Amino acid sequence: MSFVTYECKGAYGIITMNRPEALNALDSSVLDDLSSALDEVDLDTVRCLIITGAGEKSFVAGADIKEMAGLSKAEGAAFGKKGNDIFRRIETLPIPVIAAVNGFALGGGCELSMSCDFRICSDNAVFGQPEVGLGITPGFGGTQRLARLIGMGYAKQMIYTARNIKADEALRIGLVNQVVPQADLMATAEKLAAGIAKNAPIAVRQCKKAINEGLDLDMDKAIELEETLFGECFETHDQVEGMTAFMEKRKEKNFTNN
């Protein structure tokens, strides 16, 4: 039985972390299952992905503390690499990934949400990096992505104090884009995914690449990257279709990812 399920809903897909007895905590099996779920996503047809947690209490309550408790230094590093490799795969997936955070997003859970393109959450969501209280550092990208997302000052405060924050504070500091009642979370995420899926997939993918890769470059190089990716959109079916539809005052567009 898998701890992670994948459901394809036409132009978008939903990955659900499903280990409710441990609040969807990430042990090695869950990480393997997450990797397998990603393998299932057909990147030729699926245009946006949502990652959420099963139940109404937890997105992911972190890496599995019971599994980590007895690890050696080498095993700890290998476990960090296992999580990092999968989260980096999510971050660099060609299509956008939305985290629909439905409760606790602690440690590895906050880190999983940060490997997604953006986050929306339910009003009961709780974010935090509690690792220093357990005698470790964040290990699935938290020291790197949190500072890039919310700035160094807030990131250091959250990580050094190990203090959890509620949805309203996460919204205020820019960790999430939107807070909605729990009952509306998936409908909101699916509406966002469907809206993204309506746009030219080639262009959306090029935007993800431009933003992700451009942030690591100086502005001159970043602008060059944008020029290249912008240029590559031309002569594609989707560029011709998008601009022809505008000129014909036509709302319906037949984007094909070609």
Task: Give residue 6's identity as a one-letter amino acid code.
Answer: Y
Which residues make beta-bridge pairs with 141?
none
**Span near ligand CAA by CB under 6 A; candidates 30-38, 41-49, 93-101, 128-136:** 128-136
Q: Report the residue from 96, 130, 201, 242 that binds ligand CAA according to the rule CB under 6 A.
A: 130
Indicate the burial class of 33 (C-beta count within 10 angstroms; 0-12, 13-18, 19 or more): buried
Token pair belonging to 51: 């990652």
Active site residue 40: no
How many chain residues touch ligand CAA (CB under 6 A)? 22
**Span near ligand CAA by CB under 6 A; candidates 58-66, 93-101, 113-121, 232-240:** 58-66
Backbone φ, ψ for residue 248 (5° rounding): -90, 5
On whether the CB atoms of residues 82 and 139 are closer than 8 A, the answer is: no
Active site residue 131: yes
Q: How far is the CB of 66 from ligand CAA (least distance, A)?
A: 5
**Span near ligand CAA by CB under 6 A; candidates 42-50, 127-135, 201-209, 213-221:** 127-135
Residues 132-191 that bind ligand CAA (CB under 6 A): 134, 138-140, 142
**Span near ligand CAA by CB under 6 A; candidates 3-11, 19-27, 117-125, 245-253:** 19-27
Residue closer to ligand CAA, measured from CB, 100 or 192: 100
Asked if 106 touches ligand CAA (CB under 6 A), the answer is yes
Asked if 50 touches ligand CAA (CB under 6 A), the answer is no
Which is catalytic among the residues 75, 111, 226, 227?
111
Token pair belonging to 109: 């859970």
The closest alpha carbon to 60, from 15, 101, 10, belongs to 101
* CA distances to 117, 141, 152, 188, 237 from 147, in Å: 15, 10, 5, 27, 39
Distance separating alpha carbons of residues 224 and 34, to the nearest angstrom: 35
On whether the CB atoms of residues 50 and 193 are closer than 8 A, the answer is: yes
Q: How far is the CB of 140 from ligand CAA (least distance, A)?
A: 4
Residue closer to ligand CAA, measured from CB, 51 or 63: 63
Distance separating alpha carbons of residues 201 and 219, to the nearest angstrom: 26
Residue closer to ligand CAA, measured from CB, 33 or 111: 111
Q: Report the residue from 4, 14, 17, 22 that binds ligand CAA according to the rule CB under 6 A.
A: 22
Which residues make beta-bridge pairs with 99?
51, 119
Q: What is the DSSP string of 129-169?
A: --GGGGTS---SSHHHHHHHHH-HHHHHHHHHHT--EEHHH
Asked if 108 touches ligand CAA (CB under 6 A), the answer is yes
Residues 61-90 that bind ligand CAA (CB under 6 A): 61-66, 83
Task: Give the active site residues.
Answer: 111, 131
**Residues making contact with ligand CAA (CB under 6 A):** 22-23, 25, 61-66, 83, 104, 106-108, 111, 130-131, 134, 138-140, 142
